[in-house]
Amino acid sequence: MQIVSTTESSSPADAPEDGSVQAVYPPSPEFVAQANAGPELYEHADADRLKFWATQARRLDWDTDFDQVLDWPDAPFAKWFVGGKLNVAANCVDRHVAAGKGDRVAIHWVGEPGDSRDITYSQLLDEVSRAANYFTSIGLEAGDRVAIYMPMVPEAIVTMLSCARLGLTHSVVFAGFSATALRSRVDDAQAKLVVTTDGQFRREKPAPLKAAVDEALGTGDDAAESVEHVLVVRRTNHDPDMNWVEGRDVWWDDTVAESSPKHEYEAFDSEHPLFLLYTSGTTGKPKGIVHTSGGYLTQTSYTFHYVFDHKEGRDVFWCGADIGWVTGHSYLVYGPLSNGATEIIYEGTPNSPNEHRHFEVIEKYGVTTYYIAPTLIRTFMKWGRTIPDSHDLSSLRLLGSVGEPINPEAWRWYRDVIGHNRCPIVDTWWQTETGSAMISPLPGVTATKPGSAMAPLPGISANIVDDDGNKVAPGEQGYLVLDQPWPSMLRGIWGDDERFKDTYWSRFAEQGWYFAGDGARYDEDGALWVLGRIDDVMNVSGHRISTAEVESALVGHHAVAEAAVIGATDATTGQGIVAFVILREGIDTDHETLISEMKSHVSVDISPIAKPREINIVPELPKTRSGKIMRRLLRDVAEGNELGDTSTLVDPTVFEAIRSQRS
Ligand code: WT7
């Protein structure tokens, strides 16, 4: 256990007198006095980890109690809460209604054009039941897969919960992904149903969305064979050319909305698959990360309660993520709703109609707990403090950060300008694969340091080790590993056990540790600093994108013979995508045209978030004698650094050519 002592400095407002910046921020006595977590949480977990997790699991309602906490002999395939049965949706909805909290608002939904809806737990139960009845009526059965390709409308969450209620495994595909990306995910999961909307609002303009589903699902010989139905929610009402496949396509209004709001749920095994979520790895093909029911809900629910210090009936929680990412799954759906929280679901971008939007929402709804990515904090910094300063943000009492390392400057700005130096900040490290927060301060317990995720949460064990698995000394960089299984851990990669073992468990196979793909270090006080990915995965605005995926999209452009992609440091987005491409023989189109073509090609093939910031057409790529592209050197070129060691290159002069190309 490493929690930095809370006694280093007496009060949070204690700025050092010598004018230097404050290094450690202990929690205020007021926060400590009311916090859900206390230091004893670490003590309980350390004394008996499995007993600790059993206690956390019992925060949920089980229809059949479990008889074993963890089954791990078949590692890395874990089973948690063995023998237990529960219904995830009933834990998120029914039990709050049964406890007399049906009139509490679950979701304050804020639409991007300015419309809004408040949905109580009772109303949510009705809607989830209607959708469950409809899904059953079209023959869907527990274990079937459902793809969800929707903007942030309430029906998206209703669909996720109805799937959970029926034991259908959902696979949410971010609505910003292309038709190609949707198709590969639908095929891989063999989804029977796709739920979508007619369109989505993007910066106040309606854009078609179902059209992408039609394109993805194809026709005739090219049709996605697994898909039986496409269920369409009316959102924009603005696609006059919308295609409609009779027998396949149905409107939500004509089906779900007409179904009965009464539905008896069934309990499922603790290890029943709850969802798949595709994420980028080091190779081109996205991995379908598998999460199951009991363990996943236990840890998302537990972390939501303690990390966000959630107070039922009082707090208004807002997580700025999209349901297309794991943060949206765990902290927009399963964590908050299993705790009976009231939360904001916001459909749009932070600057529509203008840069005041987020602060207006905080002010209007009295948001208490605000959880966003560092890239947005840095964007707010760029827009300037007069924007947040012109709003009453006094309802806020806790701030969270997620998705990428937060630089100390952004941390301090967040604390000062958004949190008015009153709100603790929880910098939560985790991954799609970990399912829930893993390394984070506990508000009211941890004295935080700007930029550090501090320590593993109670019940979680992490370590930073060198190549041989030895714990690194303070200040030394090493590999971040998770050396004990945890309840919300991924249970595998959909349909590919070998890739699962190989990707996460082979690096430290002997020790049986999970290798996260991140580099990290401890400081002198034992605080843990995550430094970012050390593999070929980029992190752009908190979105995970593999270099290989972008490279393969680029090579799919007719003019490109070879491509190398790197993530270069970017002041706002964390990393920016920079590509180096070699053209095929005989291409004589001018470079400017080609580059803009290639950018839109990547955008269409993967998603606009994967569009390179910069593409350089170069005569050659730097390669080692074994043929490996030296990405490290390309990063130096892109960032304008001194070149690192070039001695292993076949032809060091390649750099002169690349540099001259860029200037
Ligand atoms: C990767 C996981 C966590 C859900 C959203 C992203 C990076 C995430 C932090 C943090 C430093 C972080 C890591 C990780 N990351 N949170 N607080 N500090 N780095 O999930 O898309 O699966 O990406 O995001 O590099 O491996 P993801």
Are the beta carbons of 346 and 332 closer than 8 angstroms? no
| 492: pLDDT strictly greater than 90 | yes
| 17: pLDDT strictly greater than 90 | no
Residue 518 annotated as part of some ligand binding site: yes
| 656: pLDDT strictly greater than 80 | no
Nearest CA owner, ligand 1 atom 2:
431
Residue 436 DSSP class:
S
* Ligand 1 pocket mutation, candidates 539, 540, 546, 547, criterion most atoms within 8 A of CB: 539
* pLDDT given for residue 654 in this prediction: 72
Please state, in angstroms and rounded to a whole number, the distance separating the CA atoms of residues 93 and 313.
15
Query: Ligand 1: distance of its center to the CA of 160 in Å?
Result: 23
| 3: pLDDT strictly greater than 50 | no
| 11: pLDDT strictly greater than 70 | no
272 lines ligand 1 (CB under 6 A): no
Residue 431 annotated as part of some ligand binding site: yes
* pLDDT given for residue 659 in this prediction: 73
Element (H, E) at 337: helix 335-338
Pick from 325, 410, 428, 329: nearest CA to 369: 428
Residues 329-342, mean pLDDT to the nearest whole number: 98
| 632: pLDDT strictly greater than 90 | no
* pLDDT given for residue 622 in this prediction: 84
Please state, in angstroms and rounded to a whole number, the distance separating the CA atoms of residues 230 and 217.
10
| 535: pLDDT strictly greater than 90 | no
Residue 525 annotated as part of some ligand binding site: no
Residue 333 annotated as part of some ligand binding site: no
Confidence tier at 15 by pLDDT (50, 70, 90): low
Please state, in angstroms and rounded to a whole number, the distance separating the CA atoms of residues 253 and 80.
39
* pLDDT given for residue 239 in this prediction: 79
Please state, in angstroms and rounded to a whole number, the distance separating the CA atoms of residues 523 and 646.
31
| 648: pLDDT strictly greater than 70 | no
Residue 351 annotated as part of some ligand binding site: yes
480 lines ligand 1 (CB under 6 A): no
Confidence tier at 378 by pLDDT (50, 70, 90): very high
Of 240 and 87, more confident: 87
Pick from 440, 289, 460, 279: nearest CA to 371: 440
* pLDDT given for residue 623 in this prediction: 80
605 lines ligand 1 (CB under 6 A): no
- Give a three-class secondary structure readout of 294-333: HHHHHHHHHHHHHHCCCCCCCCEEEECCCCCCHHHHHHHH
Of 640 and 104, more confident: 104
For residue range 301-325, list pLDDT tens digits in order: 999 999 999 999 999 999 999 999 9
Please state, in angstroms and rounded to a whole number, the distance separating the CA atoms of residues 101 and 560.
59
Please state, in angstroms and rounded to a whole number, the distance separating the CA atoms of residues 476 and 531.
11
Residue 11 annotated as part of some ligand binding site: no
Residue ranges and CATH numbers for the domains of the chain are 541-662 (3.30.300.30)
541 lines ligand 1 (CB under 6 A): no
49 lines ligand 1 (CB under 6 A): no
For residue range 598-615, list pLDDT tens digits in order: 999 999 989 999 999 999
* pLDDT given for residue 13 in this prediction: 44
Pick from 579, 549, 554, 583: nearest CA to 566: 579
432 lines ligand 1 (CB under 6 A): yes
ipTM: 0.99
* Ligand 1 pocket mutation, candidates 327, 402, 411, 533, criterion most atoms within 8 A of CB: 402
Q: Where are the beta strands (DSSP E) in 150-209?
A: 169-172, 193-197, 199-202, 205-208
Are the beta carbons of 479 and 522 closer than 8 angstroms? no
Residue 560 annotated as part of some ligand binding site: yes
Please state, in angstroms and rounded to a whole number, the distance separating the CA atoms of residues 485 and 507.
16
Burial of 47 (0-12, 13-18, 19+ CB in 10 A): exposed
* pLDDT given for residue 5 in this prediction: 40
Q: Where are the beta strands (DSSP E) in 23-88?
A: 68-71, 79-82, 85-86
Query: Ligand 1: distance of its center to the CA of 330 in Å?
Result: 14
Residue 424 annotated as part of some ligand binding site: no
Query: Ligand 1: distance of its center to the CA of 430 in Å?
Result: 5
Pick from 389, 406, 374, 400: nearest CA to 308: 400
For residue range 160-183, list pLDDT tens digits in order: 999 999 999 999 999 999 999 999
Residues 274-292, mean pLDDT to the nearest whole number: 90
Phi, psi of 86 (to 5 degrees): -155, 165
Name residue, tokens 């390392």.
Answer: 405
Of 282 and 483, more confident: 483
CA 239 to centroid of chain Cα atoms:
30
For the CA of 542, the closest atom of ligand 1 is 6
For the CA of 530, the closest atom of ligand 1 is 11
What does 215-271 look like in DSSP terms, one character per residue?
Answer: HHH--GGGS-TT--EEEEE-SS---TT----TTTEEETTTTGGGS-S------EETT
Residue 247 annotated as part of some ligand binding site: no
For the CA of 430, the closest atom of ligand 1 is 3
Query: Ligand 1: distance of its center to the CA of 432 in Å?
Result: 8
Pick from 15, 337, 324: nearest CA to 151: 324
Residues in the chain, overall count: 663
Confidence tier at 562 by pLDDT (50, 70, 90): confident
* pLDDT given for residue 19 in this prediction: 58
453 lines ligand 1 (CB under 6 A): yes
Please state, in angstroms and rounded to a whole number, the distance separating the CA atoms of residues 442 and 576.
31
Nearest CA owner, ligand 1 atom 23:
431
Confidence tier at 20 by pLDDT (50, 70, 90): low
Query: Ligand 1: distance of its center to the CA of 531 in Å?
Result: 10
pTM, two decimals, is 0.91
Confidence tier at 1 by pLDDT (50, 70, 90): very low
Instruction: Report the mean per-residue pLDDT for the chain.
Output: 93
